[in-house]
Amino acid sequence: MDISIVGSGYVGLVTGACFADVGHHVICVDNDQRKIAALQSGRIPIYEPGLQEVVHRNVSSHRLRFTRDIKDGVDNSQIIFIAVPTPPQSDGSVDLTYIEQVAREISEVLTDYRVIVDKSTVPVKTGEKVADTIRRYNKIRVSFDVVSNPEFLREGSAVADLMNPDRIVIGSNSDRALALMKKVYEPFMAPILVTDVKSAELIKHAANSFLALKISYINAISTICETSGADVEQVAEGIGTDKRIGRSFLSAGLGYGGSCFPKDVAAFLAISAQLGAPFPLLKEVERINTNQRTRFVHKIKDTLWILKNKRIAVWGLTFKPDTDDVRCSVAVEVVNDLLREGAMVYAYDPRGMDNVEELGLCKGLNLVKSPLEAVREAEALILATEWKEFHRVDLEETRRVMQTPIVFDGRNFFDPQTMKAVGFQYYGIGR
CB atoms closer than 10 angstroms to residue 271: 22
Instruction: Give the separation between CA 13 and CA 6, rounded to whole angstroms.
Output: 9
260 is catalytic: yes
Instruction: Tell whether residue 86 is a contact of ligand UGA (CB under 6 A).
Output: no
CA 360 to the chain's CA centroid: 20
Cβ-based neighbours of 348, under 8 Å, separated by 6 or more: 313, 314, 315, 367, 368, 369, 370, 371, 373, 374
Q: Which is nearer to ligand UGA, 98 or 137 (CB)?
A: 98
Distance of alpha carbon 314 from alpha carbon 382, whole angstroms: 5
Among residues 337, 338, 331, the alpha carbon closest in space to that of 353 is found at: 331
> Taking a C-beta distance cutoff of 8 angstroms, is the pair 121, 204 a contact?
yes
Which residues 133-162 are close enough to bind ligand UGA by CB under 6 A?
151-155
Of the candidate residues 15, 67, 107, 121, the single one contacting ligand UGA (CB under 6 A):
121
Indicate whether 118 belongs to the interface with ligand UGA (CB under 6 A).
no
SS3 407: strand
How far is residue 11's CA from residue 404's CA, in Å, rounded to a whole number? 44
- Alpha-carbon span 230 to 218, nearest angstrom: 13
> Choosing from 18, 28, 225, 260, which is the catalytic residue?
260
Closest CB 308 distance from ligand UGA, rounded Å: 29
Tell me whether residue 258 or residue 430 sits nearer to ligand UGA (CB atom).
Answer: 258
E strand map for 280-343: 311-315
Cα–Cα dist 411/255, whole Å: 9
Q: Does 327 bind ligand UGA (CB under 6 A)?
A: no
Report the residue number, 48 or 105, with the smaller CB distance to ligand UGA.
48
SS3 label, residue 124? coil
Q: How far is the CB of 257 from ligand UGA (least distance, A)?
A: 4
The gap from C-alpha 116 to its chain's centroid, in whole angstroms, comes to 24
Contact between 79 and 117 under an 8 Å Cβ cutoff? The reply is yes
Residue of the chain from 19, 47, 319, 390 that contacts ligand UGA (CB under 6 A): 319
Closer CB to ligand UGA, residue 159 or residue 304?
Answer: 159
**CB 192: neighbour CB atoms within 10 A?**
15
Q: For residue 78, give the H/E element and its range.
A: none
Residue 3's closest CA among 111, 90, 85, 83? 83
Instruction: Determine the interface stretch with ligand UGA among 32-40, 125-133, 174-182, 247-255 (rule: CB under 6 A).
Output: 247-255
Longest dimension (CA), the chain: 75
Provide the minimum distance between the beta carbon of 251 and ligand UGA in the complex, in angstroms, as a whole number: 3
Give residues 176-215 in contact with ligand UGA (rule: CB under 6 A): 208, 211, 215
Query: Is 390 a binder of ligand UGA (CB under 6 A)?
Result: no
Nearer to ligand UGA, 133 or 259 (CB): 259
CA 1 – CA 51 distance, rounded (Å): 21
- Asked whether position 405 contacts ligand UGA by CB under 6 A, the answer is no
CB of residue 349 vs ligand UGA: minimum separation in angstroms?
A: 14
Positive or negative torsion for Cα 129, 134, 137, 140: negative
Total binding residues toward ligand UGA, as defined by CB under 6 A: 20
The contact mask relative to ligand UGA for 249-288 (x = CB under 6 A, - = no) is: xxx-x--xxx-xx---------------------------
Closer residue to ligand UGA (CB): 51 or 153: 153
Residue 253: CB minimum distance to ligand UGA, A: 4
Q: How far is the CB of 340 from ligand UGA (least distance, A)?
A: 21
Smallest gap from residue 221 Cβ to ligand UGA (A): 12
Q: Which CB sits closer to ligand UGA, 133 or 329? A: 329
Contact (CB, 8 A) for 181 and 168:
no
Residues of this chain that bind ligand UGA (CB under 6 A): 121, 151-155, 208, 211, 215, 249-251, 253, 256-258, 260-261, 319-320
- Please identify every residue annotated as catalytic: 260
